[in-house]
């Protein structure tokens, strides 16, 4: 179900102070949009470049714990990896009954890395838009879609607060969709685990195996920027309708010839089902936590392993030649 501007009542936020914790990609854009909507916004930040930016933009900028004491509604907009520690140290000890805690991603609450006390509202306002777009689309008057959900309703008013906040950040202009912390988490991680990067890698490797040079293969599959243009067609026209913008040869190739055989499709869907199962049962989240606790050694090893491959080296050479690095 969708909700729009007419469903949100900003007057439910009257007299409330919204604290934005983390003045980064999402924090800055959401704070600016809310201020323009007439909301009383303060910023909580560690002392870094983001805090300076927030001051420059004219927001009252306080240390995280101090802002947590002052805010009635808390937007937790620090990176997901550091969020449990920031929440435990600066936010949780300063919450009072009736506060509202808002997340832009379901991850930490869904996987219980953060378990808020039961006398506060816990809501999610998750933009389907990068940070800069959250500001730019609102300034342009169109807004952006979000997934929204109530995880915990201590006050009995969590839903009306959520839709009012969705309006304040400019999202109900385009519309918000009722979702859940789990749905947002699964869909978001699936997008990352879907395998786009490795599909392109395999494409280049097989082209090279079949006699195409690395330069030609890399240019063809992504470096030329054609893929960005096609991605834009997807956004503007839809996955299937964008085919009209291609030659008939290209459209037939994409539509009919590129379609995997039923057996290959079964195998790749089985793989994707397994990917989702490992997200849902928490295997990925536990592994990622283990990697971080281990000082990111596995992350670095995975990167180092790929850096040894001829592909990476060839890409480096090409990108130097193209003047991109």
* Cα 294 from Cα 320, distance rounded (Å): 34
Sheet holding 60-62, edge to edge: 2-3, 176-178, 146-152, 121-127, 100-103, 73-76, 17-21, 40-44, 60-62
Residue 145 sits in the site that holds ligand NAI (CB under 6 A)? no
Among 3, 13, 18, 25, binds ligand NAI (CB under 6 A): 25
- Hey, which residues does 268 pair with through a beta bridge? none
Among 13, 41, 74, 78, binds ligand NAI (CB under 6 A): 78
Shortest reach from residue 59's CB to ligand NAI, in Å: 13
Are 233 and 240 contacting, i.e. CB atoms less than 8 angstroms apart?
A: no
Shortest reach from residue 31's CB to ligand NAI, in Å: 11
Is residue 124 classed as helix, strand or coil in its secondary structure? strand
Pick 8 or 22: Cβ nearer ligand NAI: 22
Sign of CA dihedral 10, 15, 21, 23: positive
Shortest reach from residue 76's CB to ligand NAI, in Å: 7
Residue 54 sits in the site that holds ligand NAI (CB under 6 A)? no
Listed residue (173, 28, 48, 50) closest to 104, CA to CA: 28
Residue 75 sits in the site that holds ligand NAI (CB under 6 A)? no
Residue 86 sits in the site that holds ligand NAI (CB under 6 A)? yes
Q: CB-based contacts of 3: which residues, under 8 Å, 6+ apart?
A: 148, 163, 166, 172, 175, 176, 177, 178
Among 16, 46, 157, 201, binds ligand NAI (CB under 6 A): 46
DSSP conformation letters of 2-21: EE-GGG--GGGGTT-EEEEE
Residue 26 sits in the site that holds ligand NAI (CB under 6 A)? yes
For the chain, report the end-to-end CA distance as a whole number of angstroms: 45
Among 50, 61, 152, 185, binds ligand NAI (CB under 6 A): 50
Is residue 127 classed as helix, strand or coil in its secondary structure? strand
Residue 27 sits in the site that holds ligand NAI (CB under 6 A)? yes
Shortest reach from residue 131's CB to ligand NAI, in Å: 5
Shortest reach from residue 276's CB to ligand NAI, in Å: 19
Among 3, 18, 20, 22, binds ligand NAI (CB under 6 A): 22
Shortest reach from residue 62's CB to ligand NAI, in Å: 13
Binders of ligand NAI: how many residues, by CB under 6 A? Answer: 22
Residue 301 sits in the site that holds ligand NAI (CB under 6 A)? no
Shortest reach from residue 240's CB to ligand NAI, in Å: 26
The residue number with the shortest CB distance to ligand NAI is 24
DSSP conformation letters of 36-103: HTT-EEEEE--SSHHHHHHHHTT-EEE-HHHHHHH-SEEEE-S-TTTHHHHIIIIIGGG--TT-EEEE
Contacts with ligand NAI, residue ranges (CB under 6 A): 22-27, 45-46, 48, 50, 77-80, 82, 86, 104-105, 126-127, 130-131
């Amino acid at each position: 179900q969708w909700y729009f501007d007419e469903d949100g009542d900003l007057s439910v936020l009257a007299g409330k102070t919204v604290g934005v914790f983390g003045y980064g990609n999402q924090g800055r854009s959401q704070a600016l949009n809310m201020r323009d909507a007439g909301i009383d916004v303060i910023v909580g930040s560690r002392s870094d470049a983001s805090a300076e930016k927030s001051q420059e933009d004219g927001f009252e900028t306080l240390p995280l714990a101090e802002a947590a004491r002052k805010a009635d509604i808390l937007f937790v907009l620090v990176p997901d990896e550091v969020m449990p520690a920031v929440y435990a140290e600066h936010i949780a000890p300063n919450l009072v009954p009736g506060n509202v805690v808002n997340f832009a991603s379901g991850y930490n609450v869904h996987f219980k890395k953060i378990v808020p006390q039961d006398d506060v509202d816990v809501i999610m306002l998750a933009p389907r838009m990068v940070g800069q777009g959250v500001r730019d689309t609102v300034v342009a008057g169109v807004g952006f879609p979000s997934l929204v959900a109530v995880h915990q309703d201590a006050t009995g008013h969590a839903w009306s607060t959520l839709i009012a906040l969705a309006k304040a950040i400019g999202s109900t202009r385009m519309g918000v969709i009722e979702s859940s912390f789990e749905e947002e988490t699964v869909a978001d991680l699936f997008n990352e685990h879907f395998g786009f990067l490795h599909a392109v890698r395999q494409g280049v490797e097989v082209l090279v195996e079949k006699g195409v040079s690395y330069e030609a293969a890399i240019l063809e599959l992504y470096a030329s920027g054609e893929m960005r243009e096609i991605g834009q067609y997807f956004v503007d026209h839809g996955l299937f309708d964008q085919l009209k913008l291609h030659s008939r040869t290209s459209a037939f190739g994409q539509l009919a010839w590129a379609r995997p055989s039923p057996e290959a499709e079964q195998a790749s869907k089985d793989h994707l089902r397994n990917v989702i199962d490992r997200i849902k049962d928490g295997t990925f989240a536990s592994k990622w936590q283990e990697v971080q606790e281990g000082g990111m050694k596995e992350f670095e090893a995975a990167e180092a392993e790929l850096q040894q491959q001829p592909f990476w080296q060839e890409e480096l050479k090409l990108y130097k030649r193209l003047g991109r690095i």
